[in-house]
C-alpha cells in the first residue's frame, strides 16, 4: 500500500506551484482511521475522567443554580432597574457568538473549497452545538418563569394569543432555534459515515449496538454517497447564510431598540465579525490542547492553526474597525445622547470593561501578524484566551453600559453581578466542557471520510 | 464472528417506530391540547357547599331574580355572595325566646341549620366560590351585566342547577372570543337575568342592535383585564 | 492477489437461504473505478460499489444519475417560506391583530427574518430526511454486514456488490466476471432465514404502551364529561392567588377577619349624611323631638349592638299578624309610628325613568312574595303557603284600603326596616330604589282603582291581548 512521504514537512510554508499536504506524517486510509478511532477504542486516560469530573461538577452547579433561580426568582441575579438584561443576556450573546465558528468552517469554507477545513470541522461543529446549547440556557431562564417558555413559539393556546412577529426578540427565537437544529443536522449527517467506521471497528457489543443505531445502517454505497454529498452541499449552502443571519438577528435585539449605543446600523456586520472572531478563538483554545492529548497532530496540523489565526486577524481587525466607527458615527451623527453613550462607555464608570475589551479584542490579535506567534501553538493559545475574555467583555460593555444610563439621570444605575451570576457563567463553561469531553471520547473527532477524500490516492492518480 | 448485528426485524421496526413516533407526536399534542385545556381542568368544578342550596328551586322554580341575592352585580365589580341576612328573609330561625320574628319557611329544617347558626353567632356562611378567576385578572360584573351580557353567558343555566357547576372554561381565549365578537352574547340589558331568554329573531342581529345602541366596543388590550 | 470464493457453511446449513449477491473487495480506489466501468459496460444494472469516503469519479464510472434531492430541498424551502409568511400574516394581522407602537400589523421587511429562518429550517429537513429517505436509511439490518471483510468498507477497503436480482446475474458467470476484475477477494452473501416479524415480547410491549396511552385518553374524556368537587390543581401558582385583599374574602389582617372593611365608626361617606336629606333617607318630613320614637323609626339597619332597638322591636314582632289587612293593632310602637310626620310627596323627581326602574326593582325584590300585581300571591309565598308550616304569613295585598291610605314615607319605612312579619330590605335595596319601588307600587294601586268605563276600547283590547 502506498503512502505519502514520510519525512516531516513544515506545512506552514507555501511552496508556489505545489499543494501543501493537508495530512502530515506517513498516513494511509487505515492509519487515519486508526488515529481518529484510537481515543474511542482505547482505555480512557485518567486525565479524561478528572477533566470530566471537574466539568460535570461545574455543570451540576449550573443546574443546581438554575433550580435555585426557578424556585426563588430572577432576583437572585444582579439584574436590577435599569439594567434588566445583565449577565444572562451577556452570556447568551457570548455563547451564540462562540457557536458561529463551527458552521462557518463547515459551511462557508466548504463552499469555498477550503479543503483544510476537513481536519477541524467536526470538532468545530460539535463546539458550535454545545455553545448554542449553553446560549439557549440563558434566555430560557432569563424569562423568569421558565414554564411559560412556550409563549416564545407560535403554539395555539388557551389565551388565543400569538407571539408578536414584529419583535426582534421573536426573530431571535427563530434564528437561534433554526441555527441549533440545522447545525445539529449538519453535524450528525457528517458523522454518519464515521459512526459507521466506529461501528465496524467496535469490539464490545454495546458499542456495536450504539454505533450501529447511530450510523443508521450506513454501508458506504456509492449511490448513497452520491445523494449524501448532494445533501451535504445543500446543507452547506443553506447553513452559510444562516450563520450570517443568526448573529445579525441577535444584533437586532439591540439595534432595533431605540437606545443610544444600541440603535446603530453597524451592529449586524459588527456582531457577525465578532462572532466569527470569538468562535475561531474558542476553536483554537479547544483544539490546541485537544490535538496534543488525542494525538491527532498529523490531521490537525500547524497549518490549520495558522489558517485560523489569519481568520482571527481579519475578523479582529473588523471588530476594531467597528469600535472606531461607532465612535466616529456618534460624533459625526451629532446626536448628543449617542455622543454621551460612547463617551460614557470609554470614560464612564464602565471604562475598565471597555479598555479590557479593546486591549483583548483589538490589540492582542494583531500579534498574529508575527509569523513566529501564529505558528507557535502555545502562543496562539494565550492570545486566544485573551480574545475569549475580550469578547465576553464586548457583550458586557454593549449590554450593560447602554442600559445603566437610562434617559433620566434619576434612573441611572450601576450593575453589580451577584455570586449566582458569576457561578452561572462558570457553570456554563462546565456544561460546555462536559459535552465536549463526552464528544471527544465517544464520537469521531475528525471527519475521517472527509480527510480520506482529500488525501492523495495510493496509486498517485486522481485529482487530489 | 461474535459480534452484534441487528436482527432482521430491526428493519421492520424502523417504520413501525416511525409510525408510532408520528402517532405519539399527535398523541402528545392531543393530550396537551385536550388534557391541559381549561375545558378539562376547570370546567365541571362543583364544590360541596356548606348546605345544599338549590339554584334550580330558587332561581328556577320560584323565579327569584338573580339580583335578589346577588344584589351588587349591577353596580360593583364583584357579584356579592348574599349575606346570611338575605337567606333569613325567608329562612329565619327562632330567636333566644323561641319566637320566629319574620316570615319563615323551613325554620327548623336540619339542612338549614348552618344558616341558623350563622344567624345566631353572626359568623358568615363559608360558601365555596365556584367561578374564580386568577388574581391577575380584573373582571367587573357591572360592566358586563349593564351592557347586555347575560349571566348565562358565563355561568350557564344556573336556574337548572341543583348544585352550581362551572360550565365555561373562563380561560383567556374564551374571554377574548367574546371580546372580539360580542354579538352572540348580547341581549337588551333588561333581560340579562332572564336565563331562558331567547332572541326575538336572529340572535346575531339582536346582538348587533344592542351593540349599536349601547355603543359597545369591547377592548382586547392587555390592560383591559391585566391592570 | 489471491481470489477465493468463501461460502458461509453456517448459513447454508439453515433452511434454504437465498443467494443475495456477490462481493468483490479492492484495496485501491482507482482500481475500483476501473472495475466499475467494466461492470457498467457489461450491462449490469443492479449493483453497487461501497467506499469509505465519497470517491470522486465513481459516479461517472458507475453511471449514477443525478439525484432529485435538490428539488426536494427547493420544495421544502419554498414550503417553509410560504408557511412563515402565511403564519405571520394570519397570526398578527388576522387572528390576533394587535397594534404595537403604531407598527403596521403586517409588513414585508419585518417578516423577512422569520421567513428566511423557516425556509432554511424546512429546506434543511428536506436535505437531511430527503437524503435518508432516498437512500432508504435507516436500514439497520443488512445481510451484507455479515461479511467480515465488509467491515473494512468504512475504513480502507472498496467493494463491488452484485445483486442476484439483476437480470444478467448468474452465480458462476458473474463470479467469473468479478474475478476477472482482479479484486483481492470475492465472496457470496446470503439471505437469512430468520423471520422479519417483530419478536412477541416487543409487540406485547408496544401494545402495552398503547393501552397505557389509551388510559390517559380515557382519563381526559372522564374529566371532561364529569363534575368534580375538587378545584383544579394549580401545579404552578403563578400569580393566581395574590395576597391582595378582595371583596368577601377573609384575612388575618383585621380582628374581625373581613377583607372588605365597614365604614369606620362615627364616619359617613361623603354625600351620604342622612340628616342633610331627611325626607329621602327617612321618609320623614323632619325628625321629631320624641327620641324614643325616633330610634324605632330610624333603625335603618339592624345593629346587633343597638340594644335599644332590639328591645323595642321585640314587642312589635310578638303582635299577632294573622290578619294583615286588619285595622291598626293596639300597639304603642305602631301607634307612635302612626304619629310620625311621614312624607306624602316624593323626595325625588318623579319621572318615567324612575317608574321603569321601580317596576324592575319591584320585580326583583318584591314580586317574589307580593306577586307581580301586588296581591300577595308571589311564587315564593304560594309555595310557602302550600307547605303549611305556620311560620309563614301571606304577605299583605297592596290593594286594601289600609295599605292604600298609608303615606309613602310609611311605605319607605316598611321597606327599609320591615313591618310586622316582613323582614327589612334596607340592606338589599338602596334608598333611590326604594322610592322607585314605592312609585311603582303607587301605580299598581292606581291600576286597581280605575273605572273600566274611563278606558278606551283600544286600550282595553291591548290589555286583553297582553294578558
CA nearest C200 in B: which residue? B9
* C241 occurs within a structural domain: no
The cell for A177 is 432555534
* CB-based contact C233 B41, cutoff 8 Å: yes
SS3 category, B70 = coil
In this structure, of A222-236, B172-186, C170-184, the range with the lowest mean pLDDT score is C170-184
Q: What is the pLDDT, as a whole number, of residue A10?
A: 65
**CB contact B177 to A (< 8 Å):** yes
Rounded Cα distance, C439 and C366, in Å? 13
Does pLDDT of B187 surpass 90?
A: yes
Q: Give contacts of C117 with chain A, Cβ < 8 Å.
A: 171, 174-175, 178, 242, 245, 249
* C461 occurs within a structural domain: yes
Q: How far is CA B196 from CA B160, B182, C28, C367, in A?
A: 10, 19, 89, 19
Q: Which of residues 355-414 of C touch B (CB under 8 A)?
A: 360, 363-365, 368-369, 379-380, 383-384, 387, 389, 391-393, 395
SS3 category, B99 = coil
Q: Which of C192, C220, C239 is the last residue of a domain?
A: C192
CA nearest B221 in C: which residue? C98
Burial letters A344-378, b for 16+ CB under 10 A, else e: bbeebebeebbebbbebbbebbebbeeeeebbebe
**CB contact B224 to A (< 8 Å):** no
**CB contact B173 to A (< 8 Å):** yes
The shortest CB-CB distance from A160 to any of B3, B5, B176 is to: B176
Q: What is the pLDDT, as a whole number, of residue C425?
A: 92
Q: Which of residues 44-103 of B touch C (CB under 8 A)?
A: 44-48, 61-65, 67-68, 71, 76-78, 80-81, 83, 85-86, 88-90, 92, 97, 99-103
Rounded Cα distance, A280 and A133, in Å? 18
User: Is residue A237 within 8 Å of residue C105, measured between CB atoms?
Assistant: no
User: Is residue C341 within 8 Å of residue C288, measured between CB atoms?
Assistant: yes
* C173 occurs within a structural domain: yes
* C55 occurs within a structural domain: yes
Q: What is the pLDDT, as a whole number, of residue C2?
A: 41
Q: Give contacts of A162 with chain B, Cβ < 8 Å.
A: none
**CB contact C200 to B (< 8 Å):** no
Q: Which of residues 51-90 of A touch C (CB under 8 A)?
A: none
Q: Environment class of residue C349 by beta-carbon count within 10 Å: exposed (0-12), middle (13-18) or buried (19+)?
A: exposed
* Crossing angle of helices A222-255 and A168-201, rounded to 10°: 150
Look up the CATH number of the domain holding residue C439: 1.10.760.10
ipTM for the predicted complex: 0.91
Rounded Cα distance, C257 and C250, in Å? 5
Longest dimension (CA), chain A: 78
Does pLDDT of C313 surpass 50?
A: no
Does pLDDT of C188 surpass 60?
A: yes
Q: Which residues pair with C162 in a beta bridge?
A: C22, C47
CA nearest A462 in C: which residue? C30
The shortest CB-CB distance from C199 to any of B9, B61, B100 is to: B9
Q: What is the pLDDT, as a whole number, of residue C233?
A: 85
Q: Which of residues 19-38 of B touch A (CB under 8 A)?
A: 33, 37-38
Chains that touch B (3 or more CB pairs under 8 A): A, C
The shortest CB-CB distance from B45 to any of C220, C224, C228 is to: C228
pLDDT more than 70, % of chain C: 87
* CB-based contact B3 A208, cutoff 8 Å: yes
Reported confidence tier of residue C299, pLDDT bands at 50, 70, 90: low
* CB-based contact B173 A209, cutoff 8 Å: no
* C225 occurs within a structural domain: no
If you write DSSP's letter for every residue of A381-420 in order, what string do you get? HHHHHHHHHHHHHHHHIIIIIHHHS-SSGGG-------HH
User: Is residue A289 within 8 Å of residue A135, measured between CB atoms?
Assistant: no
Which residue segment(s) compose the domain that C72 sits in?
17-192
Does pLDDT of C7 surpass 50?
A: no
* CB-based contact B3 A205, cutoff 8 Å: yes
Reported confidence tier of residue C248, pLDDT bands at 50, 70, 90: confident
CA nearest C160 in A: which residue? A221
- C-alpha A230: how far from chain center: 25
Reported confidence tier of residue C173, pLDDT bands at 50, 70, 90: confident
Q: Give contacts of C387 with chain B, Cβ < 8 Å.
A: 105-106
Supply the pTM of this predicted model. Answer: 0.85
Q: Give pLDDT tens digits for C347-370.
A: 999 999 999 999 999 999 999 999
In this structure, the number of other CB atoms found within 10 A of the CB of residue C213 comes to 15
Q: Specify the residue for cell string 331568554.
A: B197
SS3 category, C463 = helix
* CB-based contact A147 C128, cutoff 8 Å: no
At a CB cut-off of 8 Å and minimum separation 6, what does A293 contact?
A45, A47
Question: Looking at residue B158, what DSSP letter applies?
Answer: G
* C262 occurs within a structural domain: no
Q: What is the mean pLDDT of each run of 10 residues along chain A (464 residues)?
A: 48 65 75 82 86 96 95 90 91 92 84 84 91 92 88 88 91 93 93 92 89 92 93 92 92 91 91 92 90 82 89 94 93 91 93 95 94 92 95 94 89 92 95 94 88 79 45
Longest dimension (CA), chain C: 138
In this structure, of C75-84, C139-148, C315-324, the range with the lowest mean pLDDT score is C315-324
The cell for A235 is 446543507
Q: Environment class of residue B96 by beta-carbon count within 10 Å: exposed (0-12), middle (13-18) or buried (19+)?
A: exposed
The shortest CB-CB distance from A185 to any of C103, C128, C151 is to: C128
Does pLDDT of C258 surpass 70?
A: yes
The shortest CB-CB distance from B37 to any of A158, A160, A209 is to: A158
User: What angle (nearest 5°) sits at the alpha carbon of residue A71, between those of residues A70 and A77?
Assistant: 60
Mean pLDDT of C130-142: 91
* C308 occurs within a structural domain: no
Tally of structural domains, chain C: 2
A–B interface: beta-carbon pairs under 8 A: 30
SS3 category, A151 = helix
Does pLDDT of B47 surpass 90?
A: yes
Chains that touch C (3 or more CB pairs under 8 A): A, B
Q: Among residues C409, C438, C440, C418, which one has the least CA distance to residue C281?
A: C409
Q: What is the pLDDT, as a whole number, of residue C333?
A: 67
Does pLDDT of B205 surpass 60?
A: yes
For testing the chain C interface, which of B8, B56, B138 should be mutated: the one with the most C CBs within 10 Å?
B8
**CB contact C101 to B (< 8 Å):** no
Q: Give contacts of A161 with chain B, Cβ < 8 Å.
A: 172-173, 176
Q: How far is CA A92 from CA A134, A138, A273, A357, in A?
A: 8, 6, 17, 17
* CB-based contact A212 B4, cutoff 8 Å: yes
The shortest CB-CB distance from A159 to any of B5, B6, B173 is to: B173
Q: Which of C177, C192, C207 is the last residue of a domain?
A: C192
**CB contact A13 to C (< 8 Å):** no
User: Is residue A277 within 8 Å of residue A316, measured between CB atoms?
Assistant: yes
User: Edge-to-edge, what's the strand order for the sheet holding C158-163?
Assistant: C5-6, C185-190, C19-26, C158-163, C47-50
* CB-based contact C29 A219, cutoff 8 Å: no
**CB contact C220 to B (< 8 Å):** yes
Q: Specify the residue for cell string 449524501.
A: A228
Q: Which of residues 199-258 of A touch C (CB under 8 A)?
A: 199-201, 212-213, 216-231, 234-235, 238-239, 241-242, 245, 249, 252
Q: Specify the residue for cell string 334596607.
A: C426
SS3 category, C259 = coil
* C402 occurs within a structural domain: yes
Q: Which of C192, C220, C248 is the last residue of a domain?
A: C192
The shortest CB-CB distance from A174 to any of C64, C114, C159 is to: C114
* CB-based contact A160 B172, cutoff 8 Å: yes
Amino acid at each position: 500500500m502506498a503512502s505519502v512521504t514520510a519525512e516531516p514537512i513544515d506545512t506552514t510554508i507555501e511552496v508556489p506551484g505545489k499543494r501543501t499536504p493537508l495530512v502530515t506524517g506517513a498516513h494511509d486510509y487505515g492509519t487515519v482511521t486508526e488515529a481518529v478511532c484510537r481515543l474511542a477504542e482505547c482505555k480512557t486516560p485518567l486525565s479524561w475522567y478528572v477533566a470530566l469530573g471537574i466539568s460535570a461538577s461545574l455543570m451540576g452547579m449550573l443546574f443546581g443554580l438554575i433550580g435555585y433561580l426557578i424556585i426563588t426568582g430572577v432576583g437572585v441575579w444582579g439584574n436590577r432597574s435599569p439594567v434588566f438584561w445583565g449577565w444572562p443576556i451577556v452570556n447568551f450573546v457570548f455563547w451564540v457568538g462562540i457557536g458561529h465558528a463551527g458552521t462557518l468552517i463547515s459551511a462557508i469554507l466548504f463552499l469555498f473549497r477550503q479543503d483544510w477545513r476537513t481536519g477541524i470541522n467536526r470538532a468545530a461543529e460539535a463546539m458550535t452545538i454545545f455553545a448554542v446549547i449553553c446560549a439557549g440556557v440563558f434566555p430560557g431562564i432569563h424569562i423568569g418563569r421558565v414554564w411559560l417558555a412556550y409563549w416564545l413559539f407560535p403554539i395555539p393556546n388557551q389565551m388565543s394569543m400569538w407571539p408578536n412577529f414584529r419583535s426582534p426578540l421573536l426573530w431571535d427565537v427563530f434564528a437561534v432555534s433554526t441555527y441549533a437544529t440545522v447545525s445539529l443536522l449538519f453535524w450528525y449527517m457528517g458523522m454518519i459515515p464515521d459512526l459507521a467506521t466506529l461501528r465496524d471497528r467496535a469490539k464490545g457489543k454495546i458499542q456495536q449496538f450504539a454505533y450501529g443505531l447511530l450510523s443508521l445502517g450506513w454501508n458506504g454505497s456509492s449511490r448513497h454517497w452520491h445523494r449524501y454529498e448532494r445533501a451535504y452541499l445543500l446543507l452547506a449552502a443553506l447553513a452559510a447564510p444562516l450563520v450570517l443571519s443568526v448573529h445579525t438577528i441577535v444584533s437586532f435585539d439591540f439595534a432595533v431598540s431605540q437606545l443610544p449605543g444600541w440603535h446603530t446600523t453597524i451592529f449586524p456586520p459588527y456582531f457577525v465579525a465578532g462572532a466569527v472572531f470569538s468562535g475561531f478563538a474558542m476553536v483554537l483554545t479547544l483544539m490546541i490542547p485537544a490535538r496534543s492529548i488525542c494525538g491527532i497532530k498529523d490531521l490537525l496540523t500547524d497549518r490549520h492553526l495558522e489558517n485560523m489565526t489569519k481568520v482571527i486577524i481579519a475578523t479582529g481587525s473588523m471588530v476594531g474597525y467597528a469600535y472606531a466607527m461607532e465612535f466616529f458615527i456618534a460624533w459625526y451623527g451629532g446626536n448628543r445622547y449617542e455622543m454621551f453613550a460612547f463617551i460614557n462607555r470609554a470614560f464612564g464608570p464602565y471604562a475598565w470593561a471597555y479598555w479590557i475589551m479593546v486591549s483583548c479584542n483589538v490589540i492582542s490579535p494583531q500579534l498574529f501578524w508575527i509569523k513566529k506567534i501564529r505558528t507557535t501553538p502555545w502562543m496562539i493559545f494565550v492570545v486566544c484566551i485573551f480574545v475569549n475574555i475580550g469578547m465576553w467583555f464586548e457583550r458586557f460593555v454593549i449590554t450593560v453600559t447602554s442600559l445603566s444610563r437610562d434617559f433620566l439621570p434619576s434612573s441611572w444605575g450601576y450593575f453589580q453581578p451577584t455570586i449566582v451570576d458569576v457561578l452561572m457563567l462558570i457553570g456554563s463553561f462546565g456544561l460546555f466542557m462536559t459535552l465536549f469531553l463526552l464528544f471527544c471520547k465517544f464520537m469521531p473527532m475528525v471527519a475521517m471520510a472527509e480527510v480520506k477524500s482529500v488525501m492523495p490516492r495510493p496509486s498517485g492518480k486522481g485529482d487530489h | 464472528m461474535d459480534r452484534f448485528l441487528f436482527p432482521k426485524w430491526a428493519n421492520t421496526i424502523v417504520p413501525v417506530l416511525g409510525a408510532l413516533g408520528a402517532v405519539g407526536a399527535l398523541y402528545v399534542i392531543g393530550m396537551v391540547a385536550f388534557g391541559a385545556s381549561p375545558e378539562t381542568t376547570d370546567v365541571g368544578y362543583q364544590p360541596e357547599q356548606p348546605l345544599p342550596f338549590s339554584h334550580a328551586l330558587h332561581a328556577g322554580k320560584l323565579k327569584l331574580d338573580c339580583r335578589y341575592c346577588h344584589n351588587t352585580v349591577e353596580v360593583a365589580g364583584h357579584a356579592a355572595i348574599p349575606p346570611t341576612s338575605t337567606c333569613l328573609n325567608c329562612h329565619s330561625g327562632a330567636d333566644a325566646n323561641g319566637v320566629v320574628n319574620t316570615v319563615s319557611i323551613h325554620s327548623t329544617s336540619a339542612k338549614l341549620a348552618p344558616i341558623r347558626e350563622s344567624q345566631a353567632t353572626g359568623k358568615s356562611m363559608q360558601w365555596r366560590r365556584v367561578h374564580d378567576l386568577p388574581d391577575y385578572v380584573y373582571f367587573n360584573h357591572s360592566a358586563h351585566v349593564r351592557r347586555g351580557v347575560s349571566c348565562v353567558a358565563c355561568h350557564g343555566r344556573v336556574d337548572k342547577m341543583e348544585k352550581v357547576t362551572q360550565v365555561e372554561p373562563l380561560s383567556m381565549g374564551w374571554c377574548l372570543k367574546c371580546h372580539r365578537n360580542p354579538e352572540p352574547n348580547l341581549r337588551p340589558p333588561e333581560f340579562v337575568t332572564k336565563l331562558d331568554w331567547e332572541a326575538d329573531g336572529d340572535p346575531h342581529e339582536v346582538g348587533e342592535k344592542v351593540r349599536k345602541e349601547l355603543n359597545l366596543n369591547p377592548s382586547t388590550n392587555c390592560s383591559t383585564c391585566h391592570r | 492477489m489471491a481470489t477465493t470464493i468463501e461460502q458461509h457453511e453456517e448459513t447454508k446449513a439453515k433452511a434454504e437461504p437465498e443467494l443475495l449477491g456477490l462481493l468483490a473487495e479492492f484495496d485501491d480506489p482507482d482500481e475500483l473505478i476501473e472495475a466499475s466501468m467494466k461492470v457498467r459496460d457489461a450491462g449490469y444494472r443492479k449493483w453497487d460499489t461501497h467506499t469509505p469516503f465519497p470517491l470522486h469519479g465513481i459516479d461517472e464510472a458507475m453511471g449514477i444519475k443525478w439525484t432529485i434531492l435538490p428539488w426536494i430541498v427547493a420544495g421544502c424551502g419554498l414550503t417553509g417560506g410560504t408557511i412563515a409568511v402565511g403564519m405571520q400574516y394570519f397570526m398578527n394581522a388576522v387572528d390576533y391583530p394587535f397594534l404595537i407602537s403604531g407598527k403596521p400589523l403586517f409588513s414585508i421587511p419585518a417578516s423577512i427574518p422569520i421567513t428566511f429562518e423557516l425556509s432554511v429550517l424546512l429546506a434543511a429537513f428536506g436535505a437531511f430526511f430527503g437524503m435518508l429517505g432516498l437512500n432508504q436509511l435507516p436500514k439497520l439490518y443488512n445481510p451484507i454486514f455479515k461479511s467480515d471483510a465488509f467491515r473494512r468498507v468504512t475504513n480502507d477497503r472498496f467493494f463491488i456488490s452484485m445483486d442476484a436480482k439483476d437480470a444478467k446475474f448468474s452465480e458462476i458467470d458473474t463470479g467469473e466476471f468479478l474475478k476477472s476484475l482482479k479484486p483481492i477477494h470475492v465472496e457470496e452473501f446470503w439471505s437469512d432465514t430468520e423471520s422479519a416479524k417483530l419478536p412477541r415480547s416487543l409487540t406485547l410491549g408496544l401494545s402495552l404502551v398503547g393501552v397505557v396511552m389509551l388510559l390517559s385518553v380515557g382519563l381526559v374524556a372522564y374529566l371532561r364529561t364529569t363534575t368534580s368537587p375538587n378545584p383544579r390543581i394549580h401545579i404552578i401558582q403563578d400569580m393566581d392567588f395574590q395576597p391582595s385583599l378582595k371583596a368577601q374574602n377573609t384575612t388575618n389582617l383585621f380582628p374581625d377577619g373581613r377583607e372588605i372593611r365597614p365604614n369606620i365608626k362615627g364616619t359617613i361617606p361623603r354625600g351620604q349624611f342622612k340628616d342633610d336629606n331627611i325626607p329621602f333617607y327617612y321618609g320623614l318630613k323632619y325628625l321629631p323631638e320624641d327620641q324614643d320614637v325616633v330610634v324605632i323609626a330610624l333603625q335603618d339597619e339592624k345593629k346587633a349592638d343597638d340594644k335599644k332597638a332590639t328591645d323595642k322591636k321585640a314587642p312589635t314582632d310578638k303582635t299577632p299578624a294573622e290578619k294583615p289587612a286588619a285595622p291598626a293593632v293596639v300597639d304603642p310602637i305602631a301607634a307612635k309610628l302612626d304619629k310620625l310626620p311621614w312624607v306624602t310627596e316624593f323626595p325625588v323627581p318623579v319621572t318615567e325613568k324612575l317608574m321603569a326602574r321601580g317596576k324592575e326593582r319591584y320585580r326583583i325584590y318584591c314580586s317574589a312574595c307580593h306577586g307581580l300585581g301586588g296581591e300577595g300571591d308571589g311564587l315564593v309565598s304560594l309555595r310557602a303557603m302550600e307547605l303549611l308550616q305556620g311560620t309563614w304569613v301571606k304577605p299583605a295585598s297592596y290593594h286594601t284600603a289600609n295599605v292604600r291610605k298609608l303615606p309613602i314615607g310609611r311605605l319607605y319605612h316598611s321597606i327599609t326596616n320591615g313591618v310586622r312579619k316582613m323582614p327589612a330590605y334596607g340592606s338589599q335595596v338602596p334608598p333611590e330604589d326604594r322610592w322607585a319601588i314605592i312609585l311603582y307600587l303607587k301605580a299598581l294601586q292606581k291600576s286597581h282603582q280605575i273605572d273600566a268605563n274611563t278606558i278606551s276600547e283600544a286600550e282595553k283590547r291591548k290589555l286583553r291581548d297582553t294578558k
